[in-house]
Amino acid sequence: MPDVFSVLSKDHEEVKKMLATLEKNRGGSRGSSGRPAQRKKMVDDLITEESRHEAAEEMYFWPAVRDKLPDGDKLADKATGQEQEAKEVLDKLDKLGADDPQFEELLGEFIESGREHIQFEETQVWPNMRKALSKKEASDLGTKLQEAKKTAPTRPHPEVSPEALRRRAQGGGTARRAGGGTRAGSNGKAAAGQKTKAELYKEAQKLGVEGRSSMTKEELARQIAQRSR
């Protein structure tokens, strides 16, 4: 099973390749891939790839960074800020034809900021995350990202915040109170129904529950319940 860095790295390589091709063929001078219709199609593929990648990161990777690294909040805030700006640019780009005068301008902007963002993640975040995650955590996180990408949005949706994506991943907002008769705290479902994921997460942090950053709400509740018996 590929670990989180192989999953992310494969995406980054794919995006870098797309950016290089789009940059090289700017101006329509290099055969069919420089033609507006072809460029529109390539940008469309880029938007799909980017949207899935960033959504999966926001659901699982940045929460893990916040949890694992002492300066995790600062790093995640900066990265999700870059991602938010990128979503806005891609959203505009998505609505333009390749022959629109703004198309190449916005694309040029994205090529530059997209590369900067990738470099930031690879050089400022990954090295310490590689040290902070156990082999199992890195592999579990990789699986979650891969799964998340399968159903992640294929358009940028700048109106959906990284925090909302994180909550969606953790099942927040959909949790229901467990039915009567189940002793609170003895079962993940009961505890998960009564507390928010963030509250459970804080408790898990206090109790030193390992692997908490990649756990679902119910898994967290179960771990807390086991330790409180």
Closest approach of Cβ 12 to Fe ion, in Å?
6
Radius of gyration of the chain (CA): 20
Closest C-alpha among 78, 75, 76, 105 to residue 93: 105
Contact pattern for Fe ion over residues 105 through 124, marking x by CB under 5 A:
----------------x---
Contact 100, 165 (CB under 8 A): no
Closest approach of Cβ 46 to Fe ion, in Å?
14
Closest C-alpha among 159, 192, 200 to residue 174: 192
Please report the beta strands in the chain, taking only residues with DSSP state E, as ranges in sequence order.
none
Contact 134, 88 (CB under 8 A): no
CA distance 133 to 116: 24
Closest approach of Cβ 69 to Fe ion, in Å?
16
> Considering beta carbons, is residue 8 or 225 the nearer one to Fe ion?
8
> Considering beta carbons, is residue 57 or 218 the nearer one to Fe ion?
57
Stretch that binds Fe ion, among 17-25, 27-35, 50-58, 141-149 (CB under 5 A): 50-58
Total residues contacting Fe ion (rule CB under 5 A)?
3
Contact 212, 220 (CB under 8 A): yes
> Considering beta carbons, is residue 39 or 53 the nearer one to Fe ion?
53
Quick check: helix, strand or coil at residue 28? Answer: helix
Binding flag, residue 218, Fe ion (CB under 5 A)? no
Stretch that binds Fe ion, among 13-21, 48-56, 84-92, 190-198 (CB under 5 A): 48-56
Closest approach of Cβ 179 to Fe ion, in Å?
40
> Considering beta carbons, is residue 54 or 137 the nearer one to Fe ion?
54
Q: Where are the alpha helices (H) located in 25-100, listed in sequence order?
A: 36-56, 62-68, 72-94
Residue with tokens 């949790």: 175
Of residues 3, 57, 104, 140, which one binds Fe ion by CB under 5 A? 57
Catalog residues that contact Fe ion under the rule CB under 5 A.
54, 57, 121
